[in-house]
Structure 1
Amino acid sequence: MTMLAHEIFDFYTRPGAMTSAGAHAPLFDELPSDVASLVRVVQGLLLHQHWAQAYGVELSDERRGEPHLRPADRMLERLLAHDGRPLSAARPPGARLVGNCRHFTVLLVALLRAKGVPARARCGFAGYFSPDSFMDHWVAEHWNAAEARWVLVDAQLDDVQRAALKPDFDALDVPRDRFVVAGDAWARCRAGEADPSTFGFLDEHGYWFIDGNIVRDAAALNNMEMLPWDCWGGMSRPNEPHGDERFALFDGLAALTRSPDASFAELRRRYESDERLRVPPTVFNAVLDRPDPV
């Protein structure tokens, strides 16, 4: 292993601000270490906010607030308040923590790191939720030492969702043309290979949406996995046009996030030194329409 590879793997094995279990870390000890088993653990603990009805759950207003939880330790605190059993016990859907793709990803990354597996969250777009479009989405990426490659894992796709979506791939090894990291989406659009209007969520899409996910992906690659609707720094406003300066900014950042290992040192330096990228103490929560302390 080269010195750089050792540094990269060490960085993505240490818990960060959002992936630390805090006082709940000992609860991870009894859990298995293989990826497939940890994915099943996560699926037994979380309920996706937009899929609740498919599991027979009607969410109260209070439960709808749970997806705004950011750090894993607070996620676990709320989960255990619902059901205090060991994490190996799959909860009935109504007793699971309500979250979204980002929460499935963050919890899986936290578990993998606790088991000594280098892992990181990736922000981008999935092409398997809606035909002819790529939807705003998060997945985990872990280092498969046996195959010497990073592997994408969608922990959200359990039996219920697979039956509804009928994906033609293994959710434990998502092809990179089915989940596209934000930097790749940007590069494809800039090269004329894809239409930016096909990347987004519901009626929000386009270059401005993609560049927001590039900033979120850059933050996640620096171990700050924010909410999908957290806004800060250099992100464009909805439907804001891009001039030459903004295109140049995101052309460069996309290139770094597309090859995060080769660009590791520069990505770390840029994140720490550029206030357009670094997560500030307070971000704007676009869903709640208010500033939120991180």
Structure 2
Amino acid sequence: MTDHLAEAAPAGISSNAAAARSARYRAHSAVTDPGAHAELLRGVGAGFDALHRTVELLVDHYRATPGGVGAEQFDDIDRRWVASQLDALVERQPGPLDAPRAPEARLGGCCRDHSVLAVAILREHGVPARTRLGFAGYFAPGYHHDHVVGERWDDPTGRWVRFDPELDPAEYPFAVDDLPRGDAAGFRTAAEAWQAYRAGLTDLADHGVGPDTPYAGPAFVHGYLIADLAHRQRCEVLLWDGWGAMAAPGDELSAAQLELADLLAELTVAADAGDEGAEARLDELWSSDPRVRPERYVETWSPTGRIGRTDLECRTTEWRTEG
């Protein structure tokens, strides 16, 4: 793939900085590394239609699939590593990833897994890509569901193109492969949602897992703001991991937590707009601040009912409570 960054980088991003950013996200993270299954990822096309078709064939959403998922698929939701996900998929049905599959041959997962698999495919094809956490206003009127989407770097235009691999283009009145920005009814990053809250535009009661759950509000969005930084830094944690300054849903946020969230939101929004100084500051916080970086261990509160401590280096979880 030929880079066009020198002539296409947007204002505020030097060609050298854009090239470095591109290279950084072209490489696999520990999470998206397919291990022995790289050839399977290379067998899937890198265009949006191929990504959408493939991830929809591979992953059934553990909450949204009509009738639910099987017991084995339900346990899949804690398979954070793409190599582990591919191990299970190959064991259940060898062959190309974009071939039709019976439900029992698929993975149980969620939006995070659709997007992480899409990003893994793109990176295997040499396309810089990353996952982003936020809230989608296009699933249910009046509610912003927690959601994970992908971004791919587009060399000719020198920008990140945001896409939702779960969405069928024929079913939505907007470009699902180039999601519109700044629309409250579309996808908001956690940083954008936080800034809307601090500006008094929302109380965030309608930003969460769903109106039928207690997982919503400022403390919930606060956690997603930190987790979005992790995903931006190529540490694609599960949505139910916790560490550092994260609050439990429903907690009253301290002054220090509010100050940190305000800083992260400001820097993330600025970095998304092309501010390399903000990008560098996010890198600095990630490398030095244990409030935002999980280091080796995270606490994992799985929807299966299990609670444990995950060792990100050894790729193991010690479950203290079984579901």
| Same topology, TM > 0.5 | yes
Length-normalised TM-score, structure 2:
0.83
Match of 1:60 among 60, 70, 85: 70
**Contact (CA 8 Å) 2:205, 2:216: kept in 1 or not?**
yes
Aligned pairs for 1:143-182 within 5 A: 143-158=153-168, 166-176=171-181, 177=183, 178-182=186-190
Partner residue in 2 for 1:198: 206
State the Cα distance separating 1:278 from its structure 2 match: 1.0
CA distance in 1, matches of 2:202, 2:131: 24
State the Cα distance separating 1:282 from its structure 2 match: 2.2
**Contact (CA 8 Å) 2:42, 2:121: kept in 1 or not?**
no
Residue 187 to residue 58, structure 1, CA distance change in 2 (3 Å): closer
CA distance in 1, matches of 2:82, 2:156: 28
Residue ranges of structure 1 left out of the alignment (5+ in a row): none
Deviates more, 1:211-220 or 1:83-92: 83-92
Partner residue in 2 for 1:43: 56
CA distance in 1, matches of 2:134, 2:69: 27
Match of 1:272 among 284, 287, 299: 287
CA distance in 1, matches of 2:270, 2:92: 40
Residue 259 to residue 94, structure 1, CA distance change in 2 (3 Å): farther
**Contact (CA 8 Å) 1:8, 1:264: kept in 2 or not?**
no
Deviates more, 1:196-205 or 1:178-187: 196-205
Q: Does 1:220 align with 2:231?
A: yes
Q: Does 1:255 align with 2:260?
A: no
Q: Deviations over 1:28-58 (max 9, x none)?
A: 23332323222222222221112322xxx65
**Contact (CA 8 Å) 1:199, 1:210: kept in 2 or not?**
yes
CA distance in 2, matches of 1:32, 1:59: 27
Match of 2:36 among 13, 20, 23: 23
CA distance in 2, matches of 1:23, 1:236: 37
CA distance in 2, matches of 1:277, 1:243: 15
**Contact (CA 8 Å) 1:214, 1:257: kept in 2 or not?**
no
State the Cα distance separating 1:291 from its structure 2 match: 2.0
Length-normalised TM-score, structure 1:
0.91
Match of 1:124, SS?
strand
**Contact (CA 8 Å) 1:35, 1:112: kept in 2 or not?**
no
Residue ranges of structure 2 left out of the alignment (5+ in a row): 1-5, 7-14, 313-323
Match of 1:134 among 144, 169, 176: 144
* Alignment root-mean-square deviation, CA: 1.8
Q: Deviations over 1:124-144 (max 9, x none)?
A: 111122221111110001122
CA distance in 2, matches of 1:228, 1:58: 19
**Contact (CA 8 Å) 1:82, 1:95: kept in 2 or not?**
yes
CA distance in 1, matches of 2:128, 2:82: 17
Q: Deviations over 1:76-121 (max 9, x none)?
A: 1111111111123232333211110000010001111111211110
Residue 58 to residue 206, structure 1, CA distance change in 2 (3 Å): closer
Q: Does 1:117 align with 2:117?
A: no
CA distance in 1, matches of 2:215, 2:59: 26
Q: Does 1:74 align with 2:84?
A: yes
Residue 234 to residue 91, structure 1, CA distance change in 2 (3 Å): same
CA distance in 2, matches of 1:282, 1:198: 31
**Contact (CA 8 Å) 1:230, 1:284: kept in 2 or not?**
yes
Identical-residue share of aligned pairs (%): 35
Partner residue in 1 for 2:107: 97
Residue 170 to residue 188, structure 1, CA distance change in 2 (3 Å): same
User: How many correspondences in the alignment?
Assistant: 286
**Letter paired with 1:86:** P
Q: Does 1:243 align with 2:254?
A: yes
Deviates more, 1:2-11 or 1:41-50: 41-50
**Letter paired with 2:246:** M
**Letter paired with 1:69:** R
